[in-house]
Amino acid sequence: MVRTSYWKRNRSTIFWVGMLLVAVLLGVGFGYDQWGRQPNWYGHRDLAALPPGPETDLIRFGWQLVVETPRHIGKSATDPAKRYAGNDLACTNCHMNAGLKPFAAPLVSTFASFPAMFNNLVLSLAERINGCMTRSMNGSPLPVNGREMEAFIAYMRYIARDSPVGVRVAGMGLLPLKPAAQTPDAQRGAAVYSQWCARCHGPSGQGDPRTPPGIGYAIPPLWGANSFNAAAGMAKVTMAASFIRANMPLGVDYRAPILTEQQAWDLAAFITTRPRPGPRPSGPAR
């Protein structure tokens, strides 16, 4: 009798405590279900679905600059006044899939990561882009307030939508490698190049130029006068090895590499010791 009276008197309290417990358990279950899940920052961007307007035009032009760089600002650009680059490489040669491939120097978090500190200096996104122009493109800085710079930034802002500010999402940069088990060796790297790379990049690293009226390269040159200069990131053994391991031969995914880490180190040692243009002074943007 006493026990029955207790439950009757506290029935409402027990009901709400029970509901709270159920809510907590559901919340914990949902949390575990979502644990480790992240949005697909690298998914396809449908530029054709963007609404018409000046901002969309700028974004689409930015995409063109990334994938058709030589046509618009290369040394063989259709408009001689826009020949800012000193070669006919394309941004997407390094920032693969228009900056949307993980561990291929993607651009997904780039807009959200700048301004950023480099060598104790605060660097703007425009300055970082012009660093690529003077090193990887072996050319001259873009005008900071010009349409080309605005388009590059608009495209990077577009693909960075909803990404966390000040955070580099997983897959940004290049795939970290362990220190080489053996000192990277250019002679061994030459053998790796002959086996895996020469059929696309050419026996002399000259690349595969597009057939006219095409501009630029179907496969980019890796050294020589038409390649990136000695100050570019890819001219550093550590960066080249990381890029190679995750992305080469073409079509490789970082989750299923073909080359061993040692092969990537040796190949990087070979490529980075080949002749290429020297560093260019950055100079003011014209």
For the stretch 252-274, pLDDT in tens is 999 999 999 999 999 999 999 99
List CB contacts of 177: < 8 A, sequence separation 6 or more.
Answer: 238, 241, 242, 245, 261, 264, 265
Q: Is the pLDDT of residue 179 over 80?
A: yes
User: Is residue 12 included in any domain, yes or no?
Assistant: no
Question: What's the pLDDT score for residue 27?
Answer: 39
209 phi, psi to nearest 5 deg:
-65, 145
Q: Is the pLDDT of residue 208 over 80?
A: yes
- Over residues 34-41, mean pLDDT: 62
Question: What's the pLDDT score for residue 242?
Answer: 98
Q: Is the pLDDT of residue 52 over 70?
A: yes
User: Is residue 2 included in any domain, yes or no?
Assistant: no
122 phi, psi to nearest 5 deg:
-85, 125
Q: Is the pLDDT of residue 30 over 50?
A: no
- Number of domains the chain contains: 1
Q: How confident is the model at residue 8 (pLDDT cuts 50, 70, 90)?
A: low
Q: Is the pLDDT of residue 166 over 50?
A: yes
Which pLDDT tens digit goes with each residue over 134-157?
999 999 999 999 999 999 999 999
User: Is residue 284 included in any domain, yes or no?
Assistant: no
Q: How confident is the model at residue 24 (pLDDT cuts 50, 70, 90)?
A: very low
User: Is residue 41 included in any domain, yes or no?
Assistant: no
The Cα 56–Cα 53 span in angstroms is 5
Question: What's the pLDDT score for residue 121?
Answer: 85
Q: How confident is the model at residue 32 (pLDDT cuts 50, 70, 90)?
A: very low
User: Is residue 9 included in any domain, yes or no?
Assistant: no
- Over residues 178-195, mean pLDDT: 98
Q: How confident is the model at residue 247 (pLDDT cuts 50, 70, 90)?
A: very high
User: Is residue 168 included in any domain, yes or no?
Assistant: yes
Q: What is the CATH number of the domain that holds 126?
A: 1.10.760.10
Which pLDDT tens digit goes with each residue over 210-230?
999 999 999 999 999 999 999
The Cα 275–Cα 231 span in angstroms is 13
CA 47 to chain centre: 18
In this prediction, what percent of the chain has a pLDDT beyond 90? Answer: 78
Peptide bond into 249 cis (omega under 30): yes
Question: What's the pLDDT score for residue 188?
Answer: 98
User: Is residue 282 included in any domain, yes or no?
Assistant: no
User: What pTM value is reported for the model?
Assistant: 0.84
Q: Is the pLDDT of residue 5 over 70?
A: no
Give the number of other Cβ atoms within 10 Å of residue 71's Cβ: 21
Helix and strand totals (H; E) in the chain: 12, 4
- 25 or 101, greater pLDDT: 101
C-alpha gyration radius of the chain: 25
Instruction: Quote the strand ranges of 19-120, DSSP E.
Output: 116-118
Q: Is the pLDDT of residue 4 over 90?
A: no
Asked whether 272 and 188 are in contact (CB, 8 A), the reply is no
Domain containing 61 equals: 47-272
Asked whether 159 and 100 are in contact (CB, 8 A), the reply is yes
Question: What's the pLDDT score for residue 286?
Answer: 39
- Specify the long-range contacts of residues 207-215, CB closer than 8 Å, at least 24 apart: 215/68, 215/70, 215/71, 215/74, 215/76, 215/77, 215/78, 215/88
User: Is residue 232 included in any domain, yes or no?
Assistant: yes
